[in-house]
Copies of this chain bind each other. A is one copy, B any other.
Amino acid sequence: MLKWCVMPNKIVCLYSGGLDSTVCLYLAREQGQQIIALTVDYGQLHRKEITIASSHAYELQILHYHLKFNLPWKGSALLDPNILLPTERAESEMKDIPATYVPARNTILLSLASSCAEAKGACSVVIGVNALDYSGYPDCRPEYIQSFQDMIAKGTKTGVEKHPIKIQTPLLQMSKKEIVELGLRLKVPFEKTWSCYAGKEKPCGECDSCILRAKGFSEAGVKDPLTAAESKAHGA
């Protein structure tokens, strides 16, 4: 019979290469966790985050899984170039779920990470979701995370054996400013993170993700080394 050994200091960290997931990764490192980084390439158009994640994980010498598949049904501006990325959404639109929402994305990511955690004997899955300065996605809210945790406890061997995988969301209730400040303390190389949805060589500065990132750096009173380096390179 196959046995899983759940190690209290072994975690799976969902790692997209974005600012939030990189801060999570560095937080886990600081805590001395044994980290398995998991990057899921689900066909997102902003492929640069994947490249950055892979090379950064390699530099950090952590075990890194990179899963690749396409969601052929698309249904999101992050997957379908024919759907316009929303830019500068009006205040009245901010309560709507934007076109960048990918159907059931975090459920797919957490399912894969939970599978990895169970197979590799990790006790937790870390995901950098945030419910304050965020795009309004339903699968970033605390009630969703709690519900996923309840579900995975029922649907896994470790759950049935009373060692359910714990879903850790260290950034859930932090503002972008606080996330940037935490990253600064952890010495996260922000120039090696990527947030822009537009899938171009440089951050567009206009999509939700660029706007939230800029807000975080601005409120923390520091320059974003990613955009600063680019401004410098272009003589700005």
Contacts and interface: CB of A to CB of B under 8 A. Distances in A.
Contacts of A4: 75
A119 B154 contact: no
Interface stretch (A104-112, A179-187, A222-230): A104-112
Contact of A103 (B103, B118, B138): B118
A138 B111 contact: no
A112 B120 contact: no
A97 B160 contact: yes
A118 B104 contact: yes
A97 B148 CA distance: 22
Interface string A110-135: 01101111111000000000000000
A152 interface: yes
A99 interface: yes
Contact of A115 (B102, B120, B148): B102
Interface in A56-98: 65, 67-77, 83, 93, 96-98
Given A2-B99, A75-B120, A103-B115, 10 more contacts: A1-B96, A2-B76, A67-B70, A71-B119, A101-B157, A103-B114, A104-B114, A107-B107, A144-B155, A147-B155
23 contacts: A2-B99, A2-B101, A4-B75, A67-B71, A71-B112, A71-B115, A73-B115, A73-B119, A74-B119, A75-B120, A97-B160, A104-B156, A105-B115, A107-B107, A107-B156, A108-B108, A108-B115, A138-B155, A143-B154, A144-B154, A147-B147, A147-B155, A148-B151
Interface of A: 1-2, 4, 65, 67-77, 83, 93, 96-99, 101-108, 111-112, 114-120, 138-139, 141, 143-144, 147-148, 150-152, 154-157, 159-160
